[in-house]
Amino acid sequence: MSSIFALIDCNNFFVSCERIFRPELNNKPVVVLSSNDGCVVSRSNEAKALGIPMGAPAFKYKPVFKSQGVVQFSANFELYGDISQRIVKALTRIIPKIEVYSVDESFLELSSLGIKDYTVWGQAVRYSILKSVGVPVAIGIAPSKTLAKVATERAKKNPNIDDVLDLQSLSPEARAPYLLQTPISDIWGVGWRIAPKLKAEGIYNALDLSYMRPKHAQSLMGIHGRQMVAELNGQSCLPLFIEGKQRQTIMHGRMFGEDTSNFAVIEAAIASLSARAAKQLRVDKLLAKRAVVYLSTNKHKPGYRKFSFAVNFLTPSNDSGVLSKELIKAARASFSAGIDIHRANVLFYDLASENGLQIDITGDVDLSQLFRSKARFEAVDSINERYGKSTIHLAAEDLSKVWQPKKELKSPSYTTEWHELPILKT
Amino acid sequence: MNNDFQPIIESDAVSVHSGFPNPAADRKLPALALDLNQLIVQHPSSTYLFRIAGHNWSDQGIFDGDIAVIDRGAIEGPNDLVVIWQNNDFKIARSKHLQPEEKPWGKVSAVIHQF
């Protein structure tokens, strides 16, 4: 039996989460800013209509926010994470096997459900999530995941479609107008690298791409391109991905509250970012073999500069102490004083599974050190879990004001902290 | 599952097994103890907790500081208590007293009073 995919995609997810507990903000322009209020990461439809772009730097748009009465929130990731899990839980009651693709998107495979009318089914799911969790979703249904993604995009952008689009029941000819409306940059898997190449070939939308000869697509974009063309023609190449996929990279970054050239502050930032990345590695039972530190000045000020320092770890590690020490060493060696740093990122890559390490080792890995630090950090993580995130931290992790994210506009952790529950007046 | 051959001595610590095996030691069995969530939270994905503020419903057994368990997914009957959004506040109300245009945010499924 051939597959039938549904993509459930939350509309303006972060904004929608905020609106659950602030119903008066329905129909008002609302934006959510990244965790230190740097740029816009989610916009309500009303905010989009005001011409506020995704990623807009908040300081540039403050006048617009003020004159148009745009309500701003700092990102409340505890809330968004919880709401995301609620939606996943609700969807797994429809069908247990789902692919959680991102915080606000999940794929379902429907062929076993014997659904007669996919639009009716989609509307029922949409209503149920809106009523029970409180978040509006768009749903696209199609014979491949790439087409389901196209359907969801069209359902969201086309005002004549009521948030649910069934491409499954349509003939290829009837699907064509929707593909025509989808610019190539909106197609799943077409990145900013490939898009110009395709445009150079005269391919501007999903319909053009679906007509591409598979061989030509492969020569241009590899096997991935060939699959994309097949998927747009309704042949499923990408199955539902149920098993947790091993992450390839871990990236953490923050903007400084104020630009700084003080290496002690930068060092503290690197330590703190490494500690968070290391925690994530330990949770996922992974070890990092390589890392890069990126430091950059303010993009919006003249003389924008970027620096990066690469590190190879002799012994793959998820030990905050080891990771941050090496990164700080590399940064200190090449950092030139007197430059105001705006942002720091750390990227860990070439990740190996803790369990797979025995196979990977080449003889220069000190296993006893590895297991000692593993035991130590399991203790640290469990204490931090119980008593709050930074009860125990490395000495270099600085908690000074400069470094703390600005969270002036953050909503309460309504669903994740006992002392921040929403108030019900009598 | 094979419980017939239980180890007499484990490698890292001495542990002698005898008598009736403890069924609760097998992690595959569901928990035996009663779970308050099972009683109070019928639909975890649609249940939200609120803190009661104010004394106006004390005669109904709802006190300041109590925790209200709200199910957004439940269908309310006329005598049920509901949460409504009114003048920028969440308020508690009896379903049958709502105006037709007032749509409840959720149904009060329980109120927890801790001493």
A415 neighbourhood in chain B, CB within 8 Å: 48-49
pLDDT, mean of residues A275-279: 88
Chain A partners within 8 Å of B69 (Cβ): none
Q: For B108, which residue in chain A has the nearest alpha carbon?
A: A424
CB pairs A-B closer than 8 Å: 68
User: B93 and chain A: CB distance < 8 Å anywhere?
Assistant: no
Residues of B in contact with A23 (CB under 8 A): 85, 105
For strands A5-10 and A341-353, give the pairing.
unpaired
Q: Look at the block and give the residue holding tokens 């102490």.
A: A321
User: What's the pLDDT band for A246 if we cut at 50, 70, 90?
Assistant: low
Assess B45–A contact: CB distance below 8 Å, yes or no: yes
* A52 has a pLDDT exceeding 80: yes
Q: Is the pLDDT of residue A379 over 60?
A: no
**DSSP string over A317-346:** E--HHHHHHHHHHHHHHHPPTT--EEEEEE
Spatial distance between the Cα atoms of A173 and A232, rounded to a whole number of angstroms = 12
The 3-state DSSP composition of chain A as helix, strand, coil percent (nearest 5) reads: 45, 20, 35
* The two three-digit tokens of residue A3, written as one number: 């597959």
Tell me if B53 and A131 make a contact (CB, 8 A cut-off). Answer: no
Determine, for residues B89 and A132 on separate chains, whether the beta-carbon distance falls below 8 Å. Answer: no
Interchain CB contact of A421 with B (< 8 Å) = yes
Cα dist from A361 to A286, A326, A366, A419, whole Å: 14, 20, 10, 48
Asked if A68 and A50 count as a contact pair (C-beta separation under 8 A), the reply is: yes
How large is the average pLDDT for residues A28-33? 96
Q: Tell me if A53 sits within 8 A of A40, measured CB to CB.
A: yes
Joined together, the tokens standing for residue A217 give 């697509």
**DSSP assignment string, A67-92:** HHT-EEEE--HHHHHHHHHHHHHHHH
For chain A, the domains span 1-170, 171-245, 249-399
pLDDT digits (tens, 9 = 90+) for A106-156: 999 999 999 999 999 999 999 999 999 999 999 999 999 999 999 999 999
The CATH number of A171-245 is 1.10.150.20
For residue A350, the model assigns a pLDDT of 80
- Nearest chain B residue to A420 by CA distance is B51
B54 contacts in A (CB within 8 Å)? Answer: 425-426
Distance CA A191, CA A215 (A): 20
Q: Which of A13-27, A343-357, B53-67 has the lowest mean pLDDT?
A: A343-357
Indicate the helix (H) or strand (E) that contains A16. Answer: helix A13-20
Least confident range from A269-273, A420-424, B13-17, B75-79: namely B13-17
Out of 3.20.20.120, 3.20.20.70, 2.60.120.650, 3.30.70.270, select the CATH number for domain A1-170: 3.30.70.270
Instruction: Determine the Cα–Cα distance for residues A277 and A348; give it in Å rounded to an integer.
Output: 8
Using the Cβ of A133 and the Cβ atoms of chain B, whether some distance falls under 8 Å is answered with yes
Q: Do the Cβ atoms of A424 and B73 come within 8 Å?
A: no
State the pLDDT at residue A381: 61
Average pLDDT over residues A369-397: 56
Average pLDDT rounded to a whole number, residues A9-31: 96
pLDDT in tens, A322-351: 888 888 888 888 777 788 888 888 888 888
For the ranges A81-95, A97-111, A283-297, B45-59, the lowest mean pLDDT is seen at A283-297
Which helix (H) or strand (E) element contains residue A9? strand A5-10
Q: Confirm or reject contact between A414 and chain B (CB < 8 A).
A: yes
Q: Across the interface, do B48 and A128 touch by the CB < 8 Å criterion? A: no
Residues A249-399, CATH architecture: 2-Layer Sandwich (3.30)
The answer to whether A425 contacts B90, with C-beta atoms less than 8 Å apart, is: yes
Length of chain B: 115
Q: Which of B37, B41, B42, B45 to mutate to test the interface with A (most CBs of A within 10 A)?
A: B45
Query: Does A133 contact B53 at a Cβ distance shorter than 8 Å?
Result: no
Spell out the SS3 assignment of A105-119.
Answer: EEEEECHHHCCCCHH
Does residue B111 belong to the interface with chain A, where contact is any CB pair within 8 Å?
Answer: no
A135: burial class by Cβ within 10 Å (0-12, 13-18, 19+)? Answer: buried
Q: What's the pLDDT at A287?
A: 86
pLDDT at A86: 95
User: Residue B107: what pLDDT?
Assistant: 96
**Residue A415 touches partner B, C-beta closer than 8 Å:** yes
Q: Determine, for residues A425 and B54 on separate chains, whether the beta-carbon distance falls below 8 Å.
A: yes
CB contact under 8 A, A424 and B105: no
Beta-carbon contacts of residue B98 (< 8 Å; ≥ 6 apart): B82, B84, B104
A418 CA: distance to closest CA in chain B (Å) = 9
What string of H, E and C letters represents the secondary structure of A28-61? CCEEEECCCCCEEEEECHHHHHCCCCCCCEHHHH
Coil/strand/helix, residue A261:
coil
Q: CA of B19, closest CA in chain A: separation in Å? A: 35
Rg of chain B in Å (alpha carbons): 24
pLDDT of res. A357: 43
Q: How far is A413 from chain B (nearest CA, A)?
A: 12
Contact A182, A205 (CB under 8 A): yes
Rounded to whole angstroms, the Cα distance separating A156 from A151 reads 9
Query: Which chain A residues contact residue B57 at CB under 8 A?
Result: 426
Q: How far apart are alpha carbons A80 and A173 in whole angstroms?
A: 39
Single out the residue of A366, A190, A133 nearest to residue B72, CA to CA.
A133
Mean pLDDT value across residues A299-306: 82
Q: What is the token pair recorded at A26?
A: 């329905």
